[in-house]
Amino acid sequence: MRRRLAAPLVVAALALPAALIPATSASAAPADKMQVLSSWTQTSAASYNAWYAARSNQGQWAAYGFDWSTDYCSSSPDNPFGFPFQTPCARHDFGYRNYKAAGAFDANKSRLDSAFYEDLKRVCNNYSGATKTSCNSTAWTYYQAVSIFGFKAAKATADK
């Protein structure tokens, strides 16, 4: 008799914690996802630094469902003329991919491209003289490319 009562009691006791925990969708992102995304895609160095720190600790942000994937500078060199543009390209990809997924790309593209340009210029600030001038010219070319062709590339990616 004890065994017959013990088994249902054990099952009920094990099920109780699960019943007390509210059910949430595994894909539900925190309500502040767009605020966090916006804070990481501004033109400031502080925004870049916050994104970089988060990128280095992506697991902490897993609940947000951010797309951290990147092809860096796409079909352009990641380090043109030796200038390390790879990380600014990665942040630009982060902004494009996540705003597209949120359905808010068009409204944010201009700012994302401006943030990209500011990130590139910060790379160039590590140089001086003719090298800095060359870097800034290359940064301007990269910025113009995403500014002009970014919508086409974004649409092509969305159509796949």
Query: What is the average pLDDT across 119-131?
Result: 98
Residue 92 annotated to the active site:
yes
Largest CA distance in the chain: 91
- The model's pLDDT over 30-78, given as tens digits with 9 standing for 90+, comes to 999 999 999 999 999 999 999 999 999 999 999 999 999 999 999 999 9
Neighbours of 115 (CB within 10 A): 23
Rg (CA), the chain: 23
In this predicted structure, the answer to whether residue 82 has a pLDDT above a threshold of 80 is yes
Question: What pLDDT does residue 29 have?
Answer: 87
DSSP 65: T
The pTM score is: 0.79
Is residue 51 a contact partner of residue 94, using CB atoms and an 8 Å limit? yes
Query: What is the average pLDDT across 23-31?
Result: 63
Question: What pLDDT does residue 144 have?
Answer: 97
| Domains, the chain, ordered by start | 29-159 (1.20.90.10)
CA distance 111 to 155: 18
Higher local confidence (pLDDT), 4 or 28? 28
Catalytic residue among 37, 41, 92, 138: 92
